[in-house]
């Protein structure tokens, strides 16, 4: 699309409309190409907008928080299970040793 903008009689706005994207995005791509983005495109890397990167970073942070909460919940439940199991063992033990003298 950037190369298409460079053709005679073409404009960024026209190319953007043809492909259903915003002109500002296409302007950004042109700038990236000018600033060295050509090497990324030649190597097959995908060019992603900054807003998309920001949204994905926000999602990663949200998932990390959720993982932290679930890890804490699992640890609390594990400790509660250990306490419950230890109480069951204590309740099964006789309180006094058997009286063999009778």
| Per-residue model confidence (pLDDT) at position 38 | 59
Q: Would the pLDDT of 75 be above 90?
A: yes
Which letter does DSSP use for residue 98 in this model? Answer: -
- For the segment 7-34, the average pLDDT, to the nearest whole number, is 87
Higher-scoring residue by pLDDT: 5, 41: 5
Contact 16, 25 (CB under 8 A): yes
Give the chain's length.
102
Of the pLDDT bands very low, low, confident and very high (cuts 50, 70, 90), residue 74 is very high
Using alpha carbons only, what angle is made at residue 8 by residues 22 and 25, rounded to the nearest 5 degrees? 15
Of the pLDDT bands very low, low, confident and very high (cuts 50, 70, 90), residue 96 is low
């Amino acid at each position: 699309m950037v190369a298409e903008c460079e053709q005679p009689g073409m404009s960024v706005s026209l190319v953007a409309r043809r492909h259903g994207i915003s002109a500002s995005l296409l302007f950004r791509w042109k700038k990236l190409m000018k600033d060295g983005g050509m090497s990324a495109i030649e190597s097959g890397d995908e060019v992603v907008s900054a807003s998309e990167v920001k949204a994905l970073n926000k999602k990663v942070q949200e998932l990390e928080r959720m993982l932290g909460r679930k890890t804490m919940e699992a640890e609390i439940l594990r400790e509660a299970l250990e306490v419950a199991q230890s109480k069951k063992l204590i309740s099964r033990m006789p309180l006094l040793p058997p009286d063999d003298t009778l």
